[in-house]
Amino acid sequence: MLSAESLKRIDRELAKYPADQRRSAIMASLRIAQEEKHWLSAEVIEFVANYVGISPAAAYEVATFYNMYDLHPVGKYKLTVCTNLPCALRGGVSAAEYLQKKLGIGFGETTSDGLYTLVEGECMGACGDAPVMLVNNHKMCSFMTEEAIEKKLAELN
């Protein structure tokens, strides 16, 4: 279900923990699976759980608790915009509205070409850089004015 390279990466995560604490590697293992598959289906979660040696229910609890895991297909670029109060006070809501208008989608939706999924995010811990946007759960983008958004979208294409 996962490539040999992904399994090798999961094995490296598992090696970081004692044999009786393999469950500690579930977050990293799910992230690795999501990087390969682009989202986590129930089958992938179950496969990873069995590989790590925990119950599928325990893995599903992790996957549904943290918003970095995608439980349905997302676009090539998942854009998460913080709209919590500090970001909202510094233009986060305006940035989100601009993206919605620019992309023609709302939060939780994907553009028809499958390129972008827009998500409303919780605090990302970068209030001083507000408004902030996270690209594909990994790349933090700061001071996301309309101009900065246009520049970032051009870089992604």
Q: How far apart are CA 6 and CA 30, in angstroms?
A: 10
Domain boundaries, the chain: 4-65, 77-156
Q: How confident is the model at residue 96 (pLDDT cuts 50, 70, 90)?
A: very high
Q: Which fold has domain 4-65?
A: Arc Repressor Mutant, subunit A (1.10.10)
Helix (H) or strand (E) run with residue 109 in it:
strand 109-110
* Domain at 77-156: CATH code: 3.40.30.10
Say if residues 150 and 142 touch (Cβ distance below 8 Å).
no
Preceding peptide of 86 cis, ω within 30°: no
Q: Give me the DSSP letters along 86-106.
A: HHHHTTHHHHHHHHHHHHT--
Residues 33-69: pLDDT tens digits? 999 999 999 999 999 999 999 999 999 999 999 888 9
pLDDT of amino acid 157: 83
Residues 99-111: pLDDT tens digits? 999 999 999 999 9
Burial classification of residue 94, based on how many CB atoms lie within 10 Å of its CB (0-12 exposed, 13-18 middle, 19 or more buried): middle
